[in-house]
Structure 1
Amino acid sequence: MNQSIIFPDEQRWDEALEAIVFPVQVSGMLVECIAKSQVLSKLSGEKIESAQQAIECFKQVRFDVEELAEQAIEEEEYDSSGRIQI
């Protein structure tokens, strides 16, 4: 794991994005990452029907999501708002 990328144990559901939003520290800077519910469903094999279910699902596949986020950060795949979207 890249030591300049740190994932705090925080996450929240964003209804408008239909995604889990979680922070990541990249070389001391805070970056917002977005994990869409479709991605969480694909990784977990579960259909997401509520915010609570999305958070639980995220917790189950967190390691996989963090790996995807780390790869996107290393490849500098930031969106126009400076976020990483998975």
Structure 2
Amino acid sequence: MNQNILFSDRCEWDDKRQAVVFQAQQAGQLIDCIVSLGLLSKLDDTKVSKENALAAFERVRFDFEDLAEEAIEDEKFSPTGEIILG
């Protein structure tokens, strides 16, 4: 694990995006990481909806942190500077 990338414990449901958002920090910069319901359902191996998305995310949080870390290291940022997973 890259010690230069830190993840906060905070995550939230974003109604507009229909996704879970969590944050990474690299060199003092906050990076929003967006997790789609589809990928969340796939990794958690359950049917995930907005009602249970945060609980499902917590069960597979470390998998998403690994995916986000890899995407950040590979500089796979969206045009708005986010990391979009799924």
The TM-score with structure 2 as length reference comes to: 0.95
Amino acid at match of 1:63: F
Q: Deviations over 1:49-79 (max 9, x none)?
A: 233x000000000000000000000000000
1:72 alignment partner in structure 2: 71
**1:11 maps onto 2:11 in alignment:** yes
1:25 alignment partner in structure 2: 25
Write the distance in 2 (CA, Å) between the matches of 1:16 and 1:48: 17
1:60 alignment partner in structure 2: 59
Q: Which runs of 5+ in 1 are unaligned?
A: none
Task: State the identity %.
Answer: 44
- What does 1:38-49 align with in structure 2 at a 5 Å threshold? 38-49=38-49
Contact 2:34 2:84 survives alignment (8 Å): yes
Contact 1:4 1:28 survives alignment (8 Å): no
| Secondary structure at 1:8 match in 2 | strand
- Between structures 1 and 2, the one with greater strand share: 2
Paired positions, count: 85
The TM-score with structure 1 as length reference comes to: 0.95
Root-mean-square deviation (Å) = 0.8
